[in-house]
Structure 1
Amino acid sequence: MSTKILLVEDEEAIRKFVKINLEREGYEVYEAGSGEEGLEIARVKKPEIVVLDIMLPGIDGFEVCKNLRQEFPDLGIIMLTAKAEDYDKIMGLQYGTDDYLTKPFNPTELTLRIKSLERRLEPEEHSNNNLIVYPPFKLDAYSRKFYKDEEELELTPTEYQIMKNFMENPGKALKRDEILNLVWGEDFVGDSKIVDVNIRRLRSKIEENAAKPKYIETVWGLGYRWHVEV
């Protein structure tokens, strides 16, 4: 079954061009010209991935992203921005997007980003190794759920993959580039700041005090380490 993609873009020419290219790749594509329409279609069609422009009539892409993330925690979201400014990228990541792409972009690059996100969304086969436990945390790779003190925490697909790699490598200092390769893929072309923003978002969810992290430690000048209590 082909992956369902919702494209939310107010410029019809761009929307049609992207839709044609994605359909050539075998995707099932739905399109919306506004944020409100995008939310309505998402609720009916239940896409796996949304490609979302920031600048939209009515509610903007940030607000759409926020609503989508609240209603569909497992949804993959790629945000499009006409600006190369870090502010838009960081704001999008803080609202819960998994990746971003600056306009104008090559359709091939968008396809690569979608394929990378698809890998993060793939369910894992059931096995005895699906459960990773480091109290108070538990990660169930089969159901793609993450718990703290037996309470499920809602993680985005990207946050989930980062946590999975941390818990599979307890105590190991992971470089930013290493995290990029493990989560986004070796073909990712972008700023490593995407790692830092996702780490900040994760800390806000799992740490008692995100300003003084106990579990996700910063390894200065290198990256991050999952701290395991002995």
Structure 2
Amino acid sequence: MIEDDAAVRRGVVDALEYAGYRTLEAGDGDEGLRMALGASYRLLLLDLVMPGRDGFSILAELKKKRAGQPVIILSARGEEHDRVRGLELGADDYVMKPFSVRELLARVEAVLRRTCERAAPEDKRMIPGGEVDFSEGRIAFEDGVEEALSEREGELLRYLLEAKGRVVSRDEILRHVWGLDPAKTETRTLDMHIMHLRSKLRDKAQDFLVTVRGKGWRVVS
């Protein structure tokens, strides 16, 4: 939770922890941005007006560097343009102050259900010249040749395919596929997995698994 009003922050944090959630908290925008980009968490509760970075700028940074992160805005600013701007920047919900603890917990549970209980991923996906069978851990090409995928290679390929053409950053992959904190991780293992995947996908020209310089990778369907 990022909220500069200590009384509001304490009340919400206490309610969340009483309901069984583990929490992190920050009292200004600058500290909050560092926490929002670096910590491991499922949902961010975000005030808009506070010292340092405001909530809108934090949302914009999250959209660039931590795509898909669930966010609920908690704000006394209820004008339509503020609500629209927050939702356009990627917020999942907008809760007006003052709010009841019961309402907030219901909103938290609803957003977590929407963002965490996704449909089961497909076991088979078509790729250029063949098909990936994730349940079997293999790629079967139309000429009859098969390539085995390691568990991590399969997880990486599935994640890239499910991004549906979106550029996926190194930090996002390390966080969601490897379960590592990118700020505390120096590893070339991701580059090696990308190289091995391209070899197994017969993607020597990098037409399918494309490197976007300085940003990450994307799959071209």
Q: Which runs of 5+ in 1 are unaligned?
A: 1-6, 133-141, 155-230
Contact 1:81–1:88 (Cα < 8 Å) also in 2: no
TM normalised by structure 1 equals: 0.54
| Number of the residue aligned with 1:39 | 33
Q: Aligned partners of 1:128 and 1:99: how far apart in 2?
A: 28
Contact 2:37–2:62 (Cα < 8 Å) also in 1: no
CA displacement at 1:45 relative to structure 2: 2.0
CA displacement at 1:43 relative to structure 2: 3.1
For 1:14, the aligned partner's letter is V
Q: Aligned partners of 1:127 and 1:74: how far apart in 2?
A: 17
| Number of the residue aligned with 2:162 | 145
For 1:84, the aligned partner's letter is G
Shift in CA distance, 124/86, structure 1 to aligned 2, threshold 3 Å? closer
For 1:96, the aligned partner's letter is G
| Number of the residue aligned with 1:75 | 69
Contact 2:75–2:95 (Cα < 8 Å) also in 1: yes
- Secondary structure at the aligned position of 2:60 is classed as helix
| Number of the residue aligned with 1:118 | 112
CA displacement at 1:126 relative to structure 2: 4.7
| Number of the residue aligned with 1:22 | 16
Aligned residues: 138
- Secondary structure at the aligned position of 2:45 is classed as strand
- Secondary structure at the aligned position of 1:23 is classed as helix
1:79-121 CA-partner distances (Å, limit 9, x unpaired): 1111221121111112111110000001111111111111122
User: Does 2:62 match 1:48?
Assistant: no
1:158-194 CA-partner distances (Å, limit 9, x unpaired): xxxxxxxxxxxxxxxxxxxxxxxxxxxxxxxxxxxxx
- Secondary structure at the aligned position of 2:49 is classed as coil
Q: Aligned partners of 1:74 and 1:116: how far apart in 2?
A: 16
CA-based RMSD of the aligned residues comes to: 2.7
Q: Which runs of 5+ in 2 are unaligned?
A: 127-157, 169-221
Match of 2:79 among 76, 82, 85: 85
Q: Any runs of at least 4 consecutive aligned residues in structure 1 with deviations exceeding 6 A, and if so which?
A: 129-132
TM normalised by structure 2 equals: 0.56
1:1-230 counterparts in 2 under 5 A? Answer: 7-122=1-116, 124=118, 126=120, 128=122, 143=159, 145-147=162-164, 151-152=165-166
Q: Aligned partners of 1:19 and 1:38: how far apart in 2?
A: 15
- Report % sequence identity: 32
CA displacement at 1:124 relative to structure 2: 4.4
1:136-170 CA-partner distances (Å, limit 9, x unpaired): xxxxxx749342xxx2367xxxxxxxxxxxxxxxx
